[in-house]
Structure 1
Amino acid sequence: MPGAVGRVPTPPAPVSGGPASSGAAASVYAHDWAGTSLGPWPGWDPAVRAAAELVLASPVPMALALDDEFLLLYNDGYAELIGDKHPEAIGRPAAEVFAEVWQLPGVGEAVERTYRTGEPSLGKEVTLPLRRRRSGTVEHAVFTRGYSAVRDSGGRIVGVLVVAAETTQVTRQLQSLSDLAAALAGTLTLDDVARVALRHALASFDADQVSFGVDEGGGGWRMVRRLRGELIDEADERLPPLWRRFPPDSTAPLVVTARVGKSRFVDDGQPLRETAVDRHDQKIQALAAVPLPGAVVRGGLAVGYQAAHAWSGAERALLHASAELVGQAAERARRFETQHGTAQLLQRSMLPAHLPDLPRLRIAARYDAGVDGNAAGGDFYDAFLLPTGGLAVVLGDVAGHDVQAAARMGQVRAALRALALADPRPDAVLAGLDRLVTSLGAEGGTHELFVTVALGVIDADRHRLTLASAGHPAPLIRRCADGGEPYAEYADVPTGAPLGLGCRPATTTVRFSPGDTLLLFSDGVVERRRQGLGTGLDALATAVAAAGSGDPRALCAVATAAVAGATEDDVAVLAVEHALRPSRSASMEVPAEPTAPSRVRHWMTAQLTEWQVPESVVGAAVLCTSELTTNALLHAGTAARVEIDLSAERLLVSVADTGTRGTVTRAQTDTLSSRGRGLGLIEELSDAWGTDPTVRGSTVWFEILVSNR
């Protein structure tokens, strides 16, 4: 009601905000209060005016809602919270100013209750839309509010004091822990854990630099970091992190923290001065490093700022909680990598290290472990020359995902090659294998030994392919007649029973002309849960027919991605192209030196120019190869091998490293600075690309079509 604030018969005094007369305070003093029910400022009750001046001078966000209309005045902190509602909100009813949220629980009704009863209250956290004055953006901020009655000199309630505390940052940090736990649940390797941990720490602490380090397992340490403003795109995320090696007795703060298991917090100084590897480390003034808890992996997580920073209790608690989650994930990853490495080495050591290199028959294969990649499997492939001059190609599947399945696979593959070298007829080879598998089952006292095999013999001179199958999916042939559209068809080969079940294989001979490509595959390529096998077979044929070329390496990549959905089975593919004309090939060994990418560029430009490759293809291929070479040297740290193969239809380039990760020198890191662009460029400039893991290292390849340029 009018006059609720109360007035005293004092003479008018000049309006003066004293030391607080700036910002929101200046706006409050300058407001025309005489036009409101409160009357002129000098005539306010002394107790009310004292409360108002206390609010205006406080650094804590506060507001007064006075009189029955809850007319507002507030300080700078509160003005920052309400964003672009200031300064028009001064002197206006709170219900008008906050019309969009006034009816929400814990907002208007809380103010009105305190005004009626005089009882103070603490509101629950509430999320409100807020326009930030500095950025001009609208975001949903989280607040907690305290309400207290304001009384005049006579003890009468004349308003409500609102003290607001924004808890958005705390809420976000708690949410970030939940997000971190969810992201870490999907990690398998320490590389995965590092990516997630660094991304989380950089965002949660708004830091200038974050680091993650772990012990090497056999002495020494390795560490990876991220910097504020560092350009990391989707292609970068697929690359292995750039780990730096440190000796066992390193004095780097993160290594010391991990080694002794004790946290370290530096508010101001140069904590990385003695161990800095570049200017980014030298600029760090504040650093927090906490150890990862756990018995399997020793490591740590560090957050740094380029300015002095006082580490609050909340920040320390958040960092320790983050390290707890990261440490658990790191231990799972270390166990996985140990088991995975053993299983995969066993698996791949039983597969051929090299496939035949023939002028008219180009061969490629791909194997991807199914389930979680943590167990050896029974899928296998092989290709070898026969005494008759033909090429034998085989793909098989021994049921199971354990060491025993891999061992049986090795026995079957070795026996198949021996039988084929003695008698290359596919039906005779499979009949001999049937007797072997029956014997192995009897020896092991099991009738559950389930083996399927598809075997083909290619006679390139006669343009024919002889096939036999023991319970295996029929091979797919991509045909590409001169001047016609490519199409794919499954070979009409009798399936027969799996080996060990009295297999009586029959053979079929089909045309295999220049331009055709044969694709052998395991059932993991086409089988999916809740999906018929025919659906997968149709999808595979469609994808292979639509491929840009019949290049075997490209078709292997197409085949493994042809059917949507995840598979729990192993995936093996073997492709053989009957080339229209012999291709030209060349290779270069690339030493792990800073000048290597430049040398590759010069060599490749000269070679492709000599072969009269179109200039547009040369430029794209040289750029992509340079980037892949850079990535191989950075992330493997070992020598690499670049191979180029040119046919009438396409240029195929592959870059293979020979190790997972080796030592990368400071000079290499500085010189090979284009890290991260590689895969993005490959996607943009090539017609197809992929990665192939090997027993030691990996291969990245790309294909550029030249027939239409």
Structure 2
Amino acid sequence: MPGTVGRVPTPAGPVPGAAAPGDATVAGRQWGETTLGPYESWDPAVRAAADVVLASPAPMALHLGDQLLLLYNEAYADLIGDRHPRAMGRPAAEVFAEVWQHPGVGEVVEHTYRTGEPFLEKEIPLPLHRAGGGLEQAVYTRACSPVRDSLGRVAGVLSVVAETSPATRQLQGLSDFAAALSGTLTLDDVARVALRYAITSFDADRVSFAVDEGGSGGGWRMVRRVRGELVDEADERLPPLWRRGSTDWSAPAVVCARTGRASFSDDGQPLREIAVDRHDQKVRALAAVPLRASVVRGALTVGYRSPHVWSAPERALLAASAELVGQATERARRFETQHGTAQLLQRSMLPENLPGLPRLRIAARYDPGVDGNAAGGDFYDAFVLPTGDLGVVLGDVAGHDVQAAARMGQVRAALRALALNDARPDQVLTGLDRLVSSLGAEAGTHELFVTVAFGVIDVDREQLTLASAGHPAPLIRRCSPDGAPGASFVDVPSGAPLGVGYRPGTRTVQFSPGDTLLLFSDGVVERRWQGLSHGLARLAESVAMAPSGDPRSLCAVASAAVPGATEDDVAVLAVEYALRPSRSARMEVPAEPTAPSRVRHWMTAQLTEWQVAESVIGSAVLCTSELTTNALLHAGTAARVEVDLSPERLLVSVADSGSRGTVTRARTETLSSRGRGLGLIEELSDAWGTDPTVRGSTVWFEILLPPA
């Protein structure tokens, strides 16, 4: 097609936004100097299109002729910033030279011009100049249509560009937000998702989430997030930092939740009365929206450090977001109530403390399955026998309900009673088989299955005697003479589960200093769509490659050895026969701001007395201080620091006694940063992890010691 625009010598009519009729300029451009020729010579249909473009309040542009010369209106001029007015009448490829070749930019216009096919694209990012220079990435809806002359030939392309408003983009992101909330289980999960969404979707400086305490005294708890705050994967492993307040707390989020009325502050100091640091003090504009939930009371707030007028779309988006958060919060409250009851029942039937022996170090770990609402039948135990030997057991009662947990308690108690009378493993399981059969007959069911592995460790003889009733074979991690560790399963006769015809059988193997025994439930190795042999191989490989044979570390390694979610509970018990006795010490830490400092002094003195290398002391003291800080912030209760030193490693654990206490107020400079602390622990320790306990949680770390 020639580079003209359907030239027909027709008198020109008035052009809106242009000079008076007869003037050679249109929108300030001398078109006679271009390949299109004077405006008066253009085809009437093309001039009519130009009239529409120049008169329209929406951003529109014409790309005319083979060179796609630009003619546009004032609204489009606002979009392209300081490219105007030089862009008028110039080839679009020159005007947008830095982006024209990007996918979806120039090729779209050129395709429509060549083929006459219209084009519509929603949510396309286009980098356009703004006033003041520079490129700004924005999202637009763009339509390209062919402009034809009086003979039906394509003479150019009409481009209509509308920037998608932030509120529109935010509304479109609600579906992603709802999907993320649907995967939350606890209030901590809801808080993480809600704060992450609010601060990014609204591009806010500060966001917060408040919720009532339910049946725990009528108070409130609130968690916030600040722009630029370090939140990474390690940080997400620990609960959010909740602040707690009384029923009459004056925080805007709490007032909003209590009254059920939204509030919007465009400019001022809305957080002046409750500010805890400079982040709160700098907030000038704040919106607080109630959750609108039927059972739970709560609110979501979004704040900015500069004045901000809350538009109607923003208010609608906030209301919709808060409603989604309210629904997720109610689900989480129900889950936590059921989960807490089930887990309290489960853990109350497990030993709260495992025995401490000079040469045997013991640790256990229990994690509920995916559901987490039902009490399971997995159990473990370790106890000293009258002979001085150690009895260890791990079993699984079929079922995931209160009845299964109750039967688990009966089986565990009976096993200990039988072992204290006659510790031979085969005789213990034979007596236990009769009990399980009796319980099944009493309940009128033949579906009471119990698998169990029971062993006796004789330290003096360096022997382990095991018996199993349908349970996975235990694993032993051994150190060869050259120091290279290996792991192998004990070839113990498995037999049938208890209650369905157990036949006694035992196996005695060597258990020497440096070895670690690992008993585990099938939830450790079984995964859907994977064979059992694959899980067992992954477990053996992970245990063999563990940095040490420390039982607490091996429990964590075993729990994470096989990737993928499991619907079953996970129970692990590990016993290490130490090469030499270890030294241990503990400190009770009060719930007060000076506690981390006291822990640092105590740790330094204790490790110095034990002649630990200074480099290890520095790392251990810093990590312990961080864990103590986290325990005080998250639980608000007293904590316990335990230190265990062996010739191979230093193990430190910090245990709290709950997660629903009142958080102690402390100055910001007194308590260190969560993200920084966890990053330090990752960097300075050889292994670390968290273990749930009967009344709280334990966070631990291990540092391997250099050879003497």
TM over 0.5: yes
Letter in 2 for 1:379: D
Once the two structures are superposed, residues 82-123 of structure 1 have per-residue CA deviations (whole angstroms, 9 ceiling, x without a partner) of: 589777643224587667657877997499989xxxxxx9x8
**Deviation of residue 278 (structure 1)?**
3.2
Equivalents in 1 of 2:244, 2:171: separation in Å? 33
Partner of 2:178: 181
Moved more, 539-548 or 94-103: 94-103
Partner of 2:90: 92
Letter in 1 for 2:437: T
Letter in 1 for 2:283: I
Q: Residue 666 of structure 2: SS of its match in structure 1? A: helix
Once the two structures are superposed, residues 294-331 of structure 1 have per-residue CA deviations (whole angstroms, 9 ceiling, x without a partner) of: 22211111111122211111111111111121111111
Partner of 2:496: 497
CA distance 1:77–1:673, change in 2 (3 Å): farther
**1:517-556 residue pairs with structure 2 within 5 A?**
517-556=516-555
Partner of 2:403: 404
Letter in 2 for 1:180: F
**1:191-590 residue pairs with structure 2 within 5 A?**
191-218=188-215, 219-590=218-589
Equivalents in 1 of 2:12, 2:386: separation in Å? 120
Moved more, 200-209 or 68-77: 68-77
Contact 1:380–1:409 (Cα < 8 Å) also in 2: yes
**Aligned partner of 2:140 among 127, 142, 162:** 142
Partner of 2:623: 624
Moved more, 166-175 or 529-538: 166-175
Q: Residue 247 of structure 2: SS of its match in structure 1? A: coil
**Deviation of residue 368 (structure 1)?**
0.7
**1:53-68 residue pairs with structure 2 within 5 A?**
61-63=59-61
Contact 2:363–2:575 (Cα < 8 Å) also in 1: yes
Q: Residue 677 of structure 1: SS of its match in structure 2? A: helix
Once the two structures are superposed, residues 656-682 of structure 1 have per-residue CA deviations (whole angstroms, 9 ceiling, x without a partner) of: 111114222442555213222222222
Partner of 2:166: 169
Partner of 1:78: 76
Q: Residue 419 of structure 1: SS of its match in structure 2? A: helix
Contact 2:377–2:399 (Cα < 8 Å) also in 1: yes
**Aligned partner of 1:36 among 34, 37, 47:** 34
**Deviation of residue 272 (structure 1)?**
2.5
Equivalents in 2 of 1:297, 1:183: separation in Å? 20
CA distance 1:111–1:269, change in 2 (3 Å): farther
**Deviation of residue 703 (structure 1)?**
0.8
Once the two structures are superposed, residues 11-40 of structure 1 have per-residue CA deviations (whole angstroms, 9 ceiling, x without a partner) of: xxxxx99xxxxxxxxx985x7655215668
CA distance 1:28–1:704, change in 2 (3 Å): farther
**Deviation of residue 285 (structure 1)?**
2.2
CA distance 1:610–1:204, change in 2 (3 Å): same
Q: Residue 576 of structure 1: SS of its match in structure 2? A: strand
Letter in 2 for 1:130: L
CA distance 1:83–1:364, change in 2 (3 Å): farther
Letter in 2 for 1:267: D
Q: Residue 276 of structure 1: SS of its match in structure 2? A: coil
Contact 2:62–2:157 (Cα < 8 Å) also in 1: yes
Moved more, 101-110 or 532-541: 101-110
Equivalents in 2 of 1:641, 1:407: separation in Å? 30
CA distance 1:165–1:623, change in 2 (3 Å): same
Equivalents in 2 of 1:608, 1:79: separation in Å? 71
Q: Residue 547 of structure 2: SS of its match in structure 1? A: coil
Q: Residue 667 of structure 1: SS of its match in structure 2? A: coil
Letter in 2 for 1:397: D
CA distance 1:704–1:79, change in 2 (3 Å): farther
Letter in 2 for 1:174: L
Partner of 1:633: 632
Q: Residue 131 of structure 1: SS of its match in structure 2? A: strand
Contact 1:144–1:167 (Cα < 8 Å) also in 2: no
**Aligned partner of 2:126 among 127, 130, 135:** 130
**Deviation of residue 236 (structure 1)?**
1.6
The TM-score normalised by the length of structure 2 is 0.88
CA distance 1:58–1:584, change in 2 (3 Å): farther
CA distance 1:481–1:670, change in 2 (3 Å): same
Contact 2:140–2:164 (Cα < 8 Å) also in 1: yes
Once the two structures are superposed, residues 195-221 of structure 1 have per-residue CA deviations (whole angstroms, 9 ceiling, x without a partner) of: 100110111111111111111103111
Equivalents in 2 of 1:375, 1:587: separation in Å? 34
Equivalents in 1 of 2:357, 2:326: separation in Å? 50
Contact 1:634–1:668 (Cα < 8 Å) also in 2: no
Letter in 2 for 1:315: E
Q: Residue 224 of structure 2: SS of its match in structure 1? A: strand
Letter in 1 for 2:307: A
Contact 1:129–1:138 (Cα < 8 Å) also in 2: no
Letter in 1 for 2:170: Q
CA distance 1:182–1:3, change in 2 (3 Å): closer
Contact 1:634–1:664 (Cα < 8 Å) also in 2: yes
**Deviation of residue 530 (structure 1)?**
2.3
CA distance 1:573–1:113, change in 2 (3 Å): closer
Moved more, 64-73 or 460-469: 64-73
Moved more, 356-365 or 663-672: 663-672
Q: Residue 211 of structure 2: SS of its match in structure 1? A: strand
The TM-score normalised by the length of structure 1 is 0.87
Moved more, 473-482 or 371-380: 473-482
Give the share of equivalent positions with the same residue, in percent. 74
**Deviation of residue 262 (structure 1)?**
2.0
Contact 1:213–1:224 (Cα < 8 Å) also in 2: yes
Moved more, 216-225 or 523-532: 523-532
Contact 1:384–1:391 (Cα < 8 Å) also in 2: yes
Contact 1:83–1:130 (Cα < 8 Å) also in 2: no
Moved more, 505-514 or 645-654: 505-514
Moved more, 265-274 or 607-616: 265-274
Q: Residue 280 of structure 2: SS of its match in structure 1? A: helix
Once the two structures are superposed, residues 623-678 of structure 1 have per-residue CA deviations (whole angstroms, 9 ceiling, x without a partner) of: 11111111111111111111111111111111111111422244255521322222
Partner of 2:23: none
| Unmatched tracts of structure 1, length 5 or more | 11-15, 18-26, 115-120, 152-156
Contact 1:101–1:107 (Cα < 8 Å) also in 2: no
Moved more, 418-427 or 51-60: 51-60
**1:7-18 residue pairs with structure 2 within 5 A?**
none
Once the two structures are superposed, residues 151-196 of structure 1 have per-residue CA deviations (whole angstroms, 9 ceiling, x without a partner) of: 9xxxxx9998865320163453133212101111111100000110
CA distance 1:583–1:52, change in 2 (3 Å): same
Equivalents in 1 of 2:58, 2:84: separation in Å? 17
Aligned-pair Cα RMSD in Å: 3.7
Contact 1:383–1:393 (Cα < 8 Å) also in 2: yes
Contact 1:189–1:333 (Cα < 8 Å) also in 2: yes
Contact 2:479–2:486 (Cα < 8 Å) also in 1: yes
Q: Residue 276 of structure 2: SS of its match in structure 1? A: coil
CA distance 1:386–1:73, change in 2 (3 Å): same
